[in-house]
Amino acid sequence: MDYPVALITGAAHRLGARAAETLHRRGWNLVIHYRNREAEARALVARLNQRRPESAICLAADLADPAQLQKLAKQAGEHWQRLDALVNNASVFYPNPTEEATEQDWDRIMGANLKAPFFLLQHCLPALKAARGSVVNLIDIYSEKPLGDHPLYCASKAGLAALTRSWAKDLAPEVRVNGVSPGAILWPDGEAAVDETYQQAILAKTPLARTGNPDDIASAIAYLICDAPFVTGQVLAVDGGRSLNM
């Protein structure tokens, strides 16, 4: 059987991994991109291949490196000789107040969240057009109503939302392009981690009064890729109603 193929960036953990598992259950082959999380990527691929042999691979790439970005697109399209979907999930998130932000912050955040998705799609475009495929960009509700002290992050995600709509016009009818904007699903980790007081303040503004589940995002991605052939240029907020009260 000739299965459709999806490339998901940053798919070794968190939302990217859940999206991979969801698409795999729906009969897709997966290209799992990672940068540093090799052990997690290989473990995910092993689980998927145990369920259906030769249905997943993982590829390492630093998306900030143009040569590696181009190589990733080439390898993803050549492994099964097709590419039906691209999910631009990988991103960088951390605070950087305007007074303290550096050019390095600018390059790091804009590079990961805006430049990499643009050029990765450019390199994947011939294969996506041939498959009449689709793209889903992971955006953020803060692209519309910014989060304090995150001007570069919010600008990068607003730019990705604009690219989503531009691509939907420019690449039609061969390729559909949509976005998913998560609200509070998984709390940030690492340098962007937040305390319980902050978490409770976010939930107080969320009509459904709880965090979402990674499956909520994965299901939205799968819907846009698999079940929405007449949907393009849309950004779907999956946020428990949070964007109503920001």
User: What type of residue is 97?
Assistant: P
Which is the catalytic residue, given 3, 34, 142, 153?
Answer: 153
Query: 3-state secondary structure string, 49-101?
Result: HHHCCCCEEEEECCCCCHHHHHHHHHHHHHHCCCCCEEEECCCCCCCCCCCCC
Q: Give residue 170's Cα distance to chain centre.
A: 20
153 catalytic residue (yes or no): yes
Q: Computed over its alpha carbons, how large is the radius of gyration of the chain?
A: 17
Q: How many CA atoms lie within 13 A of 121 on its CB side?
A: 27
Active site residues: 153
